Structure 1
């Protein structure tokens, strides 16, 4: 078993299968696009273990608490890791997390987006360590996100040669 997979198992974490979009929705793009030594990660939201969009949905600061938003960002990290594992075959091929762009479906006046996206960053740093896991990051509030997701995250990783 690979190093990152061992860490996931030790934490009792499971990577979900590909996302199951709502009925009638077609997603005509790749979850991960490999270009040379880069993996460009499309926007992902939180997923349940069966691939469905995780609940609760809605705006952080209204329908969801900061803690629920943080948990949604952590689930989004697992969704992204699942897509990366399918694209790369082995998460240990990731040599660096380059950048992360975190979007939070924010209620008016909610301004703690960095704390929400920490749910993603904290897990990546725990799994990959401070060198490989370190990443540049933005965390911004959005008026709306697709399907009323509380969080959407995209990014880029470097792949070992």
Structure 2
């Protein structure tokens, strides 16, 4: 078993299936979840998913319908969704040599200003799995309105062995 997959198993974490859009969502997604260019992978914005690929609950604005702790947990689920897409694109997560950049977007209620605290859910999991040499990344976290009323969405850039 690959090193990162073993760490996921040790933590009891399962990578989710690809996003299954809700039946009432009237939008198409004409883009790649992961775009490989040379030895860099550009990871499109991912949202928190259940193992079956459906959008994880709760949904809503962090600081209103979603607590900061729930937002943090949702960001961890986003990291798992990205890892699943990267595994499909690269075949093996151990090929990742550096997490370069993460851009976290939080569906923040008016007055909520703890976006970095929510984004830490993503960053903490990546650092737990990859360690600081590979997992440490540059990051921004902002508050915005998000599609499907999800609490958090993140995109990333990683480098990998070609």
Match of 2:101 in 1: 99
Equivalence for 1:5: 5
Paired residue for 1:15?
15
- Report the 3-state secondary structure (helix = DSSP H, G, I; strand = E; otherwise coil) of the residue aligned with 1:15: coil
> 2-side partners of 1:155 and 1:16: how far apart?
17
> Can you give the 5+ residue segments of structure 1 that lack an aligned partner in the other structure?
none
TM-score (norm 1): 0.98
- Residue 65 (structure 2) aligns with: 63
Superposed, 1:3-152 pairs within 5 Å as 3-23=3-23, 24-142=26-144, 144-152=145-153
Q: Secondary structure at the match of 1:60?
A: coil
Q: CA deviation at 1:26?
A: 2.2
Instruction: Give distance in 1, aligned partners of 2:44 and 2:149.
Output: 17
Q: CA deviation at 1:25?
A: 3.5
1:19 & 1:25 partners in 2: Cα distance? Answer: 13
SS class of match (2:156): strand
**In 2, Cα distance between equivalents of 1:153 and 1:115:** 14
For 1:75 and 1:133, how far apart are their aligned partners in 2? 17
Partner secondary structure for residue 154 of structure 2? strand
Q: Deviations over 1:20-72 (max 9, x none)?
A: 01224321111000000000000000000100011110000000110000000
* Cα offset, 1:107, TM superposition: 0.3
Could you say what the CA RMSD is over the residues aligned between the two structures, in angstroms? 0.7
Query: How many aligned positions are there?
Result: 160
Indicate the SS of the match to 1:154.
Answer: strand
- Between the aligned partners of 1:35 and 1:157, the Cα distance in structure 2 is 11
Between 15-24 and 62-71, the greater mean CA deviation after superposition = 15-24
Distance 2:142 2:96 in 1: 25
Local SS of the residue matching 1:96: strand
Q: 2:115, 2:159 → 1: CA distance?
A: 25
